[in-house]
Amino acid sequence: MKLNLPPTVAIARRVYFSVGRHAPLQSWPPRLRLPHGYDCVLTAYYEGAVAAHNGMVANISDIKPALALAVAPLDCAMLTGADTVLPNPPSGENIVEFLWQRLPAHIEGGRLDRLVLELSPRLRVEKTPTSMRITRKYEFAAAHRLCSPELTDDENLALYGKCANLAGHGHNYGLEVTVEGAPGAAGFIMAPDRLDEIVEAEVFTRFDHKHLNEDCPEFENLIPTSENFARVIFAVLREKLTGDGHRLAKIGLHETQKNYFEVEG
């Protein structure tokens, strides 16, 4: 059988390491100036054509030692002080940049395409050859009822099922906010506390523990499906997260463990 196979594949390898840091910089949030540590997860993606003679882009066994060598100066190290290997403040963005420079640009037929550093369950940094992004995760709760004003109660029930129950229902939403840009002098694309303040003001204050149909004017003429909810969240955050060398790149909304909605712009 002859198939029209795509020519390239991205392969990934993951490595785990731990770092400590603190930064005696006034530009850093007070809590980050104190010594603290992270159990980090780094995933490196190499993309390239699949070789006909062995069916591989690159041998994973060759990527494994390259990753180990890259993270070795950081593992179990304090990234602040006279002995630090980082030339810049030890932000996640600068750690990713340091690791990008230490990894081979090519391994066999694969080109280094992406690095993803997870500093915690709530924070990750992603770098490609042309961009860098940070993603922070949040949680909040809200209720809604799915119904169209143009339909009867029976028609809404037929369309939306139990989500059209008259009393409504609620979700514990997971929200991912991704900001793209270049790190500033402090090492951040955007100061994490400032990002938290904006999400608090623009998302939590508007929607947390609210009934979207009854309490939120954003849905006065908009059915509060999670598709529309994701669009609204992106719209209210976009203006506040655009400028000073960064922009809102994406939001992801987890309605349940099974349902996820994403808006990218």
Active site amino acids: 163, 209, 255
**Token pair listed for 189:** 């694309």
Question: Phi/psi of residue 12, each to 5°?
Answer: -135, 145
CA–CA distance from 213 to each of 90, 169, 230 (Å)?
44, 11, 15
Neighbours of 221 (CB within 10 A): 7
CA atoms within 13 A on the CB side of 236: 19
What is d(CA 21, CA 86) in angstroms, rounded to the nearest whole number?
11
